[in-house]
């Protein structure tokens, strides 16, 4: 890792560490150096994210495993159909508040990196490092493991019907899907964006296949599962934060466009518009799809189902239901694709700031992708994929995720106070970030009581970032042999991956 933060010297472009590309001049064969794909072109991340691609990144990432995994978690922790729908609506409103807060942050701080960048700008490098450290070793690998496990489960469902999918087979399929996403994001930004648009359309079709039959049956009078919908006798208030975790996880993804701000065309207009359109569409889809579930399935049936969408389709569509798990798998694949596209940019920016190894801020000489940053979470994601349970991973990841998102929005309030004259092309009413921030911290601290094991582990992992910051960033007297090994590692990875510092 680089030994000092360079936040003061980073501008809004895709700049690199202060090491010229000429340092690597003799390391690449003729025709494979910078600009070899197009004569005279710079090795950089271009502004290729338009409004349509921005909407596809947000919606394509939000609508993934969550809507097919979270209904059971929400119903289990609320105890009634009515309260579960209230939680879905409340999570949609809260996610909109968070998305609007991030729209303001993204238009006044026009650097990529999302949560990491906003914490860095507001609270300085130490807290930002703890955030990226937690992301690297726990949050992102756990998140990718959850999505890929859902992908593996649904892609194999048609092959094993009516029997359950063997857990190891699902994990192997998940590993293959995860590898495919990593390869795609390493090869081409343009094709990653095009496939994301296609997959977003596919997942909207999948949702329509569930919503339309459900609404038809509801209007025909199938309302028996909504009787006594607000029977609260089995609800435990201590479990309510875990219900919100499941719901907020299903909506998670509204912040991913902020991770690629530097690649967004006209971010001051595109960012808020893409966020508002996406959140309105997703919230409507989520409420309707849950109403459709409850129209066809009772609460007990939903809790007993290993794959809610497949169970629903088998009850409504008969033999045609075999296509539903394929659409759901495509939906999960699109979510994986959007996640990797976005979070690789966060690692890219953190490396540029000096908080991660220098090679992560370099671009492939021909494909113009941050290949090293893309592959960063791959080993840990595979590890958690094979050793973790999907619901324990969800609770474990959610604690850290919402703790740091709450801090990022708190940074918005702090910047409003310390930098009132900062140019803000998009500004939200103060009540929106205040409400969202308080809600995040309420869920985080109450969850320590509800699920002390997983949340305690997550909190302990985040605290390990404190000594890591001083060991890797502040401490400037490393043994020469250690520094030589680190430099050799950077050079070796640079040659193997054919990456160079981005040009200004």
Residue range 194-205, pLDDT digits in tens: 888 888 888 788
- pLDDT of 362 strictly over 80: yes
pLDDT of residue 504: 45
Summarize the confidence of residues 67-96 as an average pLDDT.
84
Question: What count of residues does the chain have?
Answer: 504
Q: Determine contact, residues 345/263, Cβ cutoff 8 Å.
A: yes
Q: Determine contact, residues 43/503, Cβ cutoff 8 Å.
A: yes
Instruction: Give dist(CA 231, CA 385) in Å, integer.
Output: 37
pTM for this one? Answer: 0.80
CB atoms within 10 A of CB 301: 16
Residue range 36-58, pLDDT digits in tens: 344 445 555 566 778 888 888 88
Residue range 372-401, pLDDT digits in tens: 888 888 888 888 888 766 556 666 667 778
Handedness of CA 287, 289, 295, 301 (dihedral sign): negative
Residue range 294-322, pLDDT digits in tens: 898 888 888 887 667 777 877 887 776 77
Percent of the chain surpassing pLDDT 90: 13
Domain range list for the chain:
48-501
Q: Which fold has domain 48-501?
A: Amino acid/polyamine transporter I (1.20.1740)
Peptide bond into 255 cis (omega under 30): no
Q: Determine contact, residues 333/251, Cβ cutoff 8 Å.
A: no
Q: Which structure tokens are listed for 352?
A: 């540029």
Q: Determine contact, residues 313/324, Cβ cutoff 8 Å.
A: yes
- Name the one residue in this structure whose structure tokens are 């159909």: 81
Summarize the confidence of residues 407-417 as an average pLDDT.
93
- pLDDT of 446 strictly over 80: no
């Amino acid at each position: 890792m680089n030994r000092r933060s360079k936040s003061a010297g980073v501008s809004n472009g895709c700049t690199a560490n202060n090491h010229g590309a000429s340092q690597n001049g003799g390391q690449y064969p003729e025709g494979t150096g910078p600009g070899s794909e197009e004569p005279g072109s710079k090795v950089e991340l271009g502004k290729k994210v338009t409004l349509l691609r921005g909407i596809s990144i947000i919606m394509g990432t939000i609508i993934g495993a969550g809507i097919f995994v979270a209904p059971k978690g929400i119903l289990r922790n609320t105890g009634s159909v009515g309260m579960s729908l209230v939680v879905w609506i409340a999570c949609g409103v809260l996610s909109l508040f968070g998305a609007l807060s991030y729209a303001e942050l993204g238009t006044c701080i026009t650097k990529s990196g999302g949560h990491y960048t906003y914490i860095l700008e507001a609270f300085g490098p130490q807290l930002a490092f703890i955030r990226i450290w937690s992301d690297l070793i726990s949050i992102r690998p756990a998140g990718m493991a959850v999505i890929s496990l859902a992908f593996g489960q649904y892609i194999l469902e048609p092959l094993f019907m009516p029997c359950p999918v063997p857990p190891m087979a699902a994990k192997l399929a998940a590993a293959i899907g995860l590898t495919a996403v990593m390869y795609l994001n390493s090869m081409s930004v343009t094709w990653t964006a095009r496939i994301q648009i296609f997959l977003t359309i596919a997942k909207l079709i999948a949702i329509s296949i569930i919503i339309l039959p459900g609404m038809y049956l509801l209007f025909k009078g199938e309302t028996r599962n909504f009787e006594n919908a607000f029977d609260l006798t089995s609800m435990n208030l201590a479990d309510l934060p875990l219900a919100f975790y499941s719901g907020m996880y299903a909506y998670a993804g509204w912040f991913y466009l902020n991770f690629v701000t530097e690649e967004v065309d006209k971010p001051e207009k595109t960012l808020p518009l893409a966020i508002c359109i996406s959140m309105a569409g997703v919230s409507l889809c989520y409420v309707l799809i849950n109403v459709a579930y409850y129209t066809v399935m009772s609460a007990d049936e939903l809790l007993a189902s290993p794959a809610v969408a497949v169970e629903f389709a088998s009850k409504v569509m008969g033999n045609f239901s075999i296509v539903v798990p394929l659409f759901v798998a495509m939906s999960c694949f699109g979510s994986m694709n959007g996640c990797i596209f976005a979070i690789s940019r966060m690692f890219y920016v953190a490396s540029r700031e000096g908080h991660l190894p220098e090679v992560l801020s370099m671009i492939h000489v021909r494909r113009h992708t941050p290949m090293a940053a893309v592959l960063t979470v791959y080993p840990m994601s595979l590890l958690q994929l094979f050793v973790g349970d999907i619901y324990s991973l969800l609770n474990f990841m959610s604690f850290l995720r919402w703790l740091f998102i709450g801090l990022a929005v708190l940074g918005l309030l702090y910047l409003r106070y310390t930098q009132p004259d900062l140019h803000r092309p998009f500004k939200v009413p103060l009540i929106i970030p205040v409400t969202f921030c308080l809600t995040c911290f309420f869920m985080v601290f109450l969850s320590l009581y509800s699920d002390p094991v997983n949340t305690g582990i997550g909190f302990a992992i985040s605290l390990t970032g404190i000594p890591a910051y001083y060991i890797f960033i502040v401490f400037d007297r490393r043994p020469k042999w250690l520094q030589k090994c680190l430099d050799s590692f950077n050079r070796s990875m640079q040659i193997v991956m054919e990456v160079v510092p981005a040009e200004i």
